[in-house]
Chain A
């Protein structure tokens, strides 16, 4: 457990907002497949269904990058060190 800290209003909003942001890729992949299940148009040489999945993989990464930037938990010092096994 981390030491008790009074969460700021921003942090509290983040606790609700960030998971909602995280739900977006779920909508894109699980819901989107019903509309994207087609061959045409080809995008970047790929059939549309494959392109759609690739698109959402990239967008998942983008969404998580946004979440990471917005999450106040990631502004704590002392978490950026690397040691090999």
Chain B
């Protein structure tokens, strides 16, 4: 009971912060979704860093370290590369968004390609990609609260309570609430994760080095990548895919609009890589769990961090860990809901009803929040995938927007709106076909050499995507004179 009370207290504080954040503001669509474009380095840092410290980090990273070993290290690798890209990518995106007063990711594509229909397509892809991500946050939230209640609360009941809190929180405060809760969350998660990552290996193995030695002795090869399957080829292609897709999540993309100037991103590109080293301690905790609570299989690996916490500490501290975990679901969950709702209201609904005022769109966006939350809840109850697999699927989908984005910024003239749409559809179809049929590159093309078979299917889809984009663009290109003058982005 103690643990649950501590968690409930954290939830109350978060909701109070969210309510407080809206005070004195007229919550129109601009304020609700992009914070009136007034956030400085620190808040953008926290919003974007909040992206890394999600339930995924907390449970998924430790779960994969526990269940898969070496391949889990990809999680530490991809974000740094994404930050390197962000140094050049985000300032250009921000300038264009600022100039045209954009509020969603699909706005960006609609404006760049002069095509509201393309905007609607991007909105739909984004929302579809966000469902697994949201399901991941809700699944994590359920696991955390249920474990912290020592089994008194079923994961289902826990998920429902969490979703209701999340929905109310988002509807009321918008992105301002997320930014303030992100502060609380990051302080808490940093403390908890570093403590667990140092204490658990020390307690169960006598130190980090000793822990790794004993894991290696018990399971030779576990701490490296295997030769087949999750091989170095898988690692490199997955890291690249995730780095390219990192800022293409609709909520991350539009969270960047909240910056007050482009210098914010360039400064953050220096510090964000270091900040995510905290993940290292999550791995330590995951490997320590392997020593302390062995035997969890498959998706149950996601429980490893919680199991070892419950085994090692007093209920009040389990409550603190659970509270930290709850906040890691709340912040990204709220951004996800907000971005999906804004995309649907602004870029799909407004396409059907062009006469709708910004006020109506804003109201509709808020009304869509509970609907989307309910849909995610439904999937959460029917799913059974490990957290990392959900994330990998979302990444594979959302990265399909990358070729169109890149061309729109560098060689806008080379690509038509039909080409961009064809590329996105081809890429998404490839991902969907392989994911739904649960096939891998190896199943489809068994004659290929092993390295190619191990490639992340998202990378293959990206190639299909780019080819479709170029071919259809070439076929639909209007005469050179009639081409609209593109607004070219300027690097840096």
Contacts and interface: CB of A to CB of B under 8 A. Distances in A.
Q: Do A and B come from one complex?
A: yes
Contacts of B77: 29, 33, 53, 56-57
Interface in A65-85: 65, 67-68, 71, 73-74, 76, 79-85
Question: Which of B39, B88, B273 is most buried by chain A, counting CB atoms within 10 A of its CB?
Answer: B273
B217 to A, nearest CB: 10
Contact of B276 (A15, A49, A57, A84): A57
B317 to A, nearest CB: 25
A82 B492 contact: no
Interface stretch (B172-180, B349-357, B369-377, B436-444): B172-180
B458 to A, nearest CB: 15
Interface string B79-117: 011011101100000010001000000000000000000
B70 A49 contact: yes
Question: Which of A30, A38, A63 is most buried by chain B, counting CB atoms within 10 A of its CB?
Answer: A30
A30 B240 contact: yes
A33 B274 contact: no
A9 interface: no
Contact of A68 (B212, B270, B276, B277): B270
A61 B492 CA distance: 18
Nearest to B236: A30
B223 A74 contact: no
A52 B93 CA distance: 32
B369 to A, nearest CB: 19
Interface string B274-314: 10110010010000000000000000000000000000000
Interface string A32-61: 011001110010111101100110111011
B225 A49 contact: yes
Contact of A60 (B221, B263, B273): B273
A45 B205 CA distance: 12
Interface stretch (B4-12, B40-48, B136-144): B40-48
A57 B84 contact: no
Question: Which of B42, B80, B260 is most buried by chain A, counting CB atoms within 10 A of its CB?
Answer: B80
B331 to A, nearest CB: 13
B229 interface: no
A71 B492 CA distance: 8
Contacts of B239: 29-30, 33
Contacts of A19: 88, 491
Nearest to B71: A49
Nearest to B78: A29
A7 B207 CA distance: 55
Interface residues of B, number: 59
B261 interface: yes
B188 interface: no
A79 B8 CA distance: 40
Contact of A42 (B39, B209, B266): B209
Given A46-B208, A68-B267, A26 B84 contact: yes
B271 interface: yes
Nearest to A40: B216
A43 to B, nearest CB: 10
A22 B179 contact: no
B263 A79 contact: yes
A58 B84 contact: no
Nearest to A58: B274
Given A34-B232, A45-B209, A85-B39, A67 B87 contact: yes
A31 B300 CA distance: 33
Contacts of A61: 80, 270-271, 273-274
10 contacts: A22-B85, A22-B88, A33-B235, A45-B209, A45-B210, A47-B224, A60-B80, A60-B81, A83-B260, A85-B175
Interface of A: 1-2, 15, 18-19, 22, 25-26, 29-31, 33-34, 37-39, 42, 44-47, 49-50, 53-54, 56-58, 60-61, 63-65, 67-68, 71, 73-74, 76, 79-85
Given A22-B84, A81-B260, 17 more contacts: A1-B95, A2-B95, A19-B491, A26-B81, A29-B80, A33-B225, A33-B235, A38-B224, A39-B224, A44-B209, A45-B209, A46-B212, A49-B224, A50-B70, A58-B274, A64-B83, A85-B258
